[in-house]
C-alpha cells in the first residue's frame, strides 16, 4: 500500500514560525501565557537536563516555539547577545488590553499604544527575556498607495518603526 503524500508545510503551522531562544524557558512560557494568553501545546526536555529544548505555544491561532539557551550549539538569547535585531509583530483583537496584560506580566514599555498612520493601533514592549514585540490591532484596511500617501504627510520620525532612540 502506498504511503500518503506528506504535505511539505504542516497544516498546524504557517510557512513562517518564530522560534524564541530565552535564558529561562520555563519563566518565558509562564510570561507568554500571562501576557498573551498563550496555550502550551507541549514541551520537551532531555532527561537529567532542566533546559527546555522545544516548547510550542499557541497564541490566537499562531504558533511560536520557545527553547532555553544551548550555547554549545550556538543557540543563545538576546540577553547573552546584548539585544536582538528582530521584532515580533503580534496582531490581536485589542492592542491596548494585550499591551497592558504584557506590562502587568513583567514586560517593559518601549512605546505607548497609539493610532498609527498605516491603519493600526499599536505599541511596543520588550519582554523580560529581551525580545521586542509590537502589539497591534488593525483599524483600517489600507493599500500600499494609501499608506505611502499618508507617510508623505507625517514627520520623518513618525515614519520609522516603533522604538526608543538611543540617548
pLDDT digits (tens, 9 = 90+) for 118-160: 999 999 999 999 999 999 999 999 999 998 999 888 887 776 6
Q: What DSSP letter does each residue of 65-103 carry, written as one string?
A: EEEE-BGGGTB--HHHHTS-S-EEEEE-S-HHHHHHHHH
pLDDT tens-digit map of 50-93: 999 999 999 998 999 999 999 999 999 999 999 998 999 999 99
Which pTM does this prediction carry?
0.86
Q: Superfamily for 18-155?
A: 2,3-Dihydroxybiphenyl 1,2-Dioxygenase, domain 1 (3.10.180.10)
| Position 2 confidence tier, pLDDT thresholds 50, 70, 90 | low
Residue 165 has pLDDT above 80, yes or no: no
Domain boundaries defined on the chain: 18-155
3-state helix, strand, coil split of the chain in percent (to 5) is 25, 35, 40
Amino acid at each position: 500500500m502506498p504511503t500518503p503524500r506528506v504535505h511539505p508545510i504542516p497544516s498546524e503551522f504557517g510557512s513562517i514560525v518564530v522560534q524564541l531562544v530565552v535564558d529561562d524557558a520555563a519563566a518565558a512560557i509562564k510570561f507568554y501565557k500571562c501576557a498573551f494568553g498563550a496555550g502550551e501545546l507541549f514541551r520537551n526536555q532531555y532527561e537529567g537536563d532542566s533546559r527546555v529544548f522545544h516548547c510550542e505555544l499557541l497564541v490566537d491561532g499562531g504558533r511560536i516555539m520557545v527553547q532555553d539557551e544551548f550555547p554549545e550549539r550556538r543557540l543563545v538569547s538576546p540577553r547573552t547577545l546584548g539585544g536582538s535585531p528582530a521584532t515580533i509583530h503580534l496582531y490581536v483583537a485589542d492592542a491596548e488590553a494585550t499591551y497592558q496584560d504584557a506590562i502587568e506580566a513583567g514586560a517593559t514599555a518601549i512605546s505607548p499604544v497609539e493610532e498609527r498612520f498605516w491603519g493600526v493601533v499599536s505599541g511596543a514592549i520588550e519582554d523580560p527575556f529581551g525580545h521586542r514585540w509590537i502589539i497591534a490591532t488593525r483599524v483600517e484596511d489600507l493599500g500600499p498607495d494609501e499608506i505611502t500617501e499618508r507617510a508623505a504627510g507625517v514627520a520623518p520620525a513618525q515614519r520609522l518603526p516603533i522604538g526608543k532612540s538611543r540617548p
